[in-house]
Amino acid sequence: MVLDQFHSLAVLPADAVFDVRLRYMKDDRGCKVDLGIGAYRDNNGKPWVLPSVKLAEDRVRSDENYDHEYLGISGFQPLTTAAVRVLLGEGSQALDEDRVVSVQSLSGTGALHLAMRLLLATLPKSLVYFSSPTWANHYALSKTQGLETATYPYWDSITKSIDIEGFLKAINDAPSGSVFVLHACAHNPTGMDPTAEQWDMILDAIASKGHVALFDVAYQGFATGDLDRDAFAVRLGLKKLAHNTPVLICQSFAKNVGIYGERVGVFHIVVPRQDPADVAKLKMALLSQLNLITRSEVSNPPAYGAKVVAKVLNTPELTKQWHQDMLTMSNRIKKMRHVLHDKLVEFQTPGNWDHIIRQCGMFSFTGLTKEMVERMEKEHAVYLVSSGRISIAGLNDKNVEHVAKAIDSVVRHFASSKL
Ligand code: LMR
């Protein structure tokens, strides 16, 4: 009987991104290229430990108080208080008015998990809207909590741009009090962000319908190379939304500090302006709820990465170096976009490839079909996820020609003129 229950479990599909990585690692072809996972690689195709992080690690380890004690349940305060400033900026009204609750999380995924748990406790009947397409893990994160999901149109595959009309219509048609998950910048997987004017319309529509905005901030700094500019949507959102509804913000340092496996993130809730006593009461309730979730699931967040990131954020010369590191990464990615685009133009690969240079951040949504992606892997040892998303960070001077030739070859093979 008991064993039957265990046997009744279905085998679930493997996670797409990590599965690509596994297949790539098993491949012994010398020309193989990994464009799957969204992780920065240097021009030699190697993971890059940021110079600012190396310096911070030295300082953390040589501190006379260095130890491996538990953190408090809501995390390392020097991290959470510095992290919110990176997001909201120095002149933030919400910070001046002490309206933000911040707790450390297991990177962006952990912050999203806390957000979903909180939504389950507060708005269990609300629909959670994701962009179509979105990061696949968004669905797993909400569905495992039993939340109902819906999509809003985002990517127009014909024009290779944002379907702003569809997006706005979905906001207006959604039942009031729905949750809209917004990629703050460097949209994953399309690499296409709304313009400032489009953000204005999107956030106005969300505010006027009384929806909740949940910002997923996994790539701050990757869209423009500038952390403040990449926080534009979040900061505008707070101006427009934080009068009526709490705003949820999931912040990851995996990519922009390059500290992927250390799992450093922060979950913030900005509560609306109201009587200061009500603000304080609400903040206390939120903090206690989040602490209970953290305590029961991970006890307390991991310390090492948190101390390293806090050191980067709280030491002026390291912060300066970090901003430089961010530019190093984003400029190399931008350069690779142009090289790939120019090669495809040079090869006269059927279709128009301008979207590769119109997109931003770590990814390009190439428009390659699932069949083309399969052929890229099988015939050319170029690995990417089946949606046709490539991680531009996986390109470098040595492999970009091979990738461009592979794209050219698969596109011609399927004789597609639709790209
Ligand atoms: C990606 O989309 O490739 C990254 O965010 C890595 C991940 O966890 O999926």
Condensed to tens digits (0 to 9), the pLDDT of residues 218-253 reads 999 999 999 999 999 999 999 999 778 999 999 999
Rg, Å, the chain Cα set: 22
Could you identify the atom of ligand 1 that is nearest to the CA of residue 109?
Answer: 8
Residue 123 CA to ligand 1 centre (angstroms): 27
Work out the average pLDDT over 378-403. 97
Does the beta carbon of 258 lie inside 6 Å of ligand 1?
no
Q: Is the pLDDT of residue 24 over 70?
A: yes
Confidence of residue 418 (pLDDT cuts 50, 70, 90): low
Confidence of residue 270 (pLDDT cuts 50, 70, 90): very high
Q: Is the pLDDT of residue 352 over 60?
A: yes
Q: Is the pLDDT of residue 280 over 90?
A: yes
Average pLDDT, whole number, for the chain?
A: 96
Is 216 labeled as catalytic in the residue annotation?
yes
Q: Give the pLDDT score at 49.
A: 98
Burial of 147 (0-12, 13-18, 19+ CB in 10 A): buried
Under 8 Å CB-to-CB from 219, ≥6 apart: which residues? 183, 184, 185, 186, 188, 230, 255, 256, 361, 362
Does the beta carbon of 188 lie inside 6 Å of ligand 1?
yes
Q: Is the pLDDT of residue 419 over 60?
A: no
Q: Is the pLDDT of residue 145 over 90?
A: yes
Distances (CA, A) of 392 to 111, 117, 144, 362, 384: 25, 33, 31, 6, 10
Residue 69 token pair = 């004690």
Residue with tokens 């297991």: 106
Q: Is the pLDDT of residue 339 over 90?
A: yes
Q: Is the pLDDT of residue 65 over 60?
A: yes
Q: Is the pLDDT of residue 355 over 60?
A: yes
Does the beta carbon of 38 lie inside 6 Å of ligand 1?
yes
Does the beta carbon of 37 lie inside 6 Å of ligand 1?
yes
Under 8 Å CB-to-CB from 113, ≥6 apart: which residues? 105, 106, 141
Q: Is the pLDDT of residue 48 over 80?
A: yes
Confidence of residue 144 (pLDDT cuts 50, 70, 90): very high
Report d(CA 49, CA 42) in Å as an integer. Answer: 10
Q: Give the pLDDT score at 14.
A: 85
Confidence of residue 15 (pLDDT cuts 50, 70, 90): confident
Q: Which of 48, 135, 199, 353 is catalytic?
A: 135
Q: Whose CA is nearest to atom 2 of ligand 1?
A: 38
Work out the average pLDDT over 86-114. 97
Strands 363-365 and 389-391: antiparallel
Is 199 labeled as catalytic in the residue annotation?
no
Instruction: Pick the range with the lowest mean pLDDT from 171-175, 243-247, 289-293, 295-299.
Output: 243-247
Kindly provide the b/e burial profile for residues 330-369, where b requires at least 16 CB atoms within 10 angstroms of the residue's own CB: bebbbbbbebbbebbeebebbbebebbeebbbbbbbbbbb
Q: Whose CA is nearest to atom 1 of ligand 1?
A: 38
Confidence of residue 416 (pLDDT cuts 50, 70, 90): low
Does the beta carbon of 215 lie inside 6 Å of ligand 1?
no
Residues in the chain: 419
Q: Kindly list the structural domains of the chain, giving each domain's residue range(s) and its CATH number in brackets, ordered by start.
A: 15-49+329-412 (3.90.1150.10), 70-314 (3.40.640.10)
